A and B are shown apart, each in its own frame.
Chain A
Amino acid sequence: MRNYLLKLCLLLMLPAAVFGRTIIVSPHTQIQTLKKAIDLAKNGDTIIVQPGLYTSINTIVNKELTILGEGKPVLDAHHREEVVTITSNNVKFDGFIIQNSRTGSMRDFAGVRLSKVQNVTVSNNTLLNNFFGIYLSDSNNISVINNHLSGSNNAENSGNGIHLWKCKYVLISGNYVTHHRDGIYFEFAKNSTIENNVSEKNIRYGLHFMFSDDDTYLHNTFRNNGSGVAVMYTRRIKMLNNTFTQNWGGSIYGLLLKEISDAQIEGNQFIRNTTGIYMENTERIRVTKNNFRSNGWAVRVLASCYNNYFTNNNFEGNSFDATTNGSLKENYFSNNYWDKYEGYDLDKNGIGDVPYRPISLYAQVIEQNPQSVMLMRSFIVNLMDKVERAVPSVTPETVKDEKPMMKPWKR
């Protein structure tokens, strides 16, 4: 019985231990820097930083703390070092303006660095003019939520916005990234989710995967980046309901796939890109229920790609629906809507009675002779394509949609 009483007493005392102290940082009190507050704090404490401009030359968070900015206080490294480094598990870091990390080629200086930690949340921060924005390495179970990152926009000297290296189970949600090298960069980052982010006007890619398997990205917008998204050397990536738009220029793509396998690309919008999807050395990719509208090339599939399926997509207003660089084998098109389809549907089942060949003769001509692009939309080109459609001879025999839809898919 006494034993139970003792336990009860201990239980009642627990809240005092769980709810730590609160330390206030303010320019007007004795604790004038975040660093001093961290020195004074114990695990489980909360630090509230009041509005003001604080110099932060690589402040290290090495305790389990909740650090909250009140009214967006500014942490500034004056280009001398990193701004904040988190080296402890169970940290929440919320509500700051973090600016002016050092740049340079010897180290990847970051606004907020997480190194070898678990269960850390970085949320509601604004990162301005840092070399790298939020840099995660060797970390698991991390949330990066509702941050706003703006880089230097300097092509030769800018790092990635949100950078992951050797991480697992990371959630990246609701962030806005601009003017960085890659908006979001994954290298050896697995089992992670990227959702509801906007990545625009980044110098290289909006989102970039290298050697990162089993990740999902959905409901993101990639607008006006060097290229929209690059997925390279990875397996089992799900790409769902994203928008890829206004990625214009030479060797610029909405979605660049290189050496990847078993990916799912579903429900995305590809609007006004030079090339909607570019595929090189891909295997078992399912491209389904996407809209390709007003692109130069909707899909470009190189001859090194096998067992890719294009089904239930809409192709509307693209200069070229599909192109390739050789003989395309074992890539399948079926049940897509093609606005250039000129066949008929006598049995009225909604599916055209003659196949559609998405690779036009003119696309093949341009492949051999790029200068002939100047003949685009000329009478002779239209005539050539019409003849080829009637009597196919040059376009690859295997590349055709046996069941082209008569009407676009409604979504």
Chain B
Amino acid sequence: MKKICILLTIAGLLFSACSRGPEAIQYGKDACWHCKMTIMDKRFAAEIVTAKGKVYKFDSAECMAGYLKENPGLATDKQALLFVSYYQAPGSFNDARKSAFLEAPTVSSPMGGNLAAFGSENLAKRFQNGAAGTIYNWNELLKSRP
């Protein structure tokens, strides 16, 4: 019985080490990997966890997109996890590939990208409320970046 317990514990530890997930961002301390700014605004933060488990933190979706533009290998890597925080759920981690992005002058994201992430195109549309702006999905957003 004791042995099984130990085995289970070890197995548990091993599995927990294997599973990849988002790493918490320390707002006010962690710096954006792309623009070097300290990450402050919970509404806009983003994060990449690579296949090997390396974590890159960003202060905004535009910085994450900018970094991926410079590293196309990582951008096409299906194993890499891409997270964005939702404008309406600040500090949450959500799959960027399944998110909708609103680019609108009313959104003041940290790097001047005027970009906010939402759970769905409908949510983004509702927030936009007929005002000026463009809605992208993740792939369209990457393409739209210079």
Contacts and interface: CB of A to CB of B under 8 A. Distances in A.
Contacts of A258: 35-36
A105 B43 contact: yes
B90 interface: yes
Contact of B90 (A105, A187, A233, A256): A105
Interface string A196-213: 000000011100001100
B110 to A, nearest CB: 9
Given A105-B43, A204-B37, A232-B37, A226 B28 contact: yes
A280 interface: yes
A108 B36 CA distance: 23
A251 interface: yes
Given A226-B38, A258-B36, A280-B36, A155 B27 contact: yes
A156 interface: yes
A155 B36 contact: no
Contacts of B31: 251
A181 interface: yes
B46 to A, nearest CB: 16
A156 B37 contact: no
Contacts of B38: 203-205, 226-227, 251
Interface string A203-240: 11100001100000000000000110010110000000
Given A105-B90, A211-B112, A256 B40 contact: no
B72 to A, nearest CB: 19
A230 B37 contact: yes
B90 A204 contact: no
B139 interface: no
Interface in B31-55: 31, 35-38, 40, 42-43
B112 A155 contact: no
B28 A204 contact: yes
Contacts of B112: 187, 210-211, 233
A150 B11 CA distance: 52
Interface in A6-59: none
A156 B27 contact: yes
B120 interface: no
A232 B35 contact: yes
Interface string B88-121: 0011000000000000000010011000000000
B30 to A, nearest CB: 8
Contacts of A256: 36
A233 B108 CA distance: 16
24 contacts: A105-B43, A105-B90, A108-B108, A155-B27, A156-B27, A156-B28, A203-B28, A203-B38, A204-B38, A204-B40, A210-B111, A210-B112, A226-B28, A226-B38, A227-B38, A230-B36, A230-B37, A232-B37, A233-B112, A251-B31, A256-B36, A258-B35, A278-B36, A280-B36
Given A187-B112, A211-B112, 12 more contacts: A155-B27, A156-B91, A203-B28, A204-B40, A210-B111, A210-B112, A227-B38, A230-B37, A232-B35, A233-B112, A256-B36, A258-B35
Interface of A: 105, 108, 155-156, 165, 181, 187, 203-205, 210-211, 226-227, 230, 232-233, 251, 256, 258, 278, 280
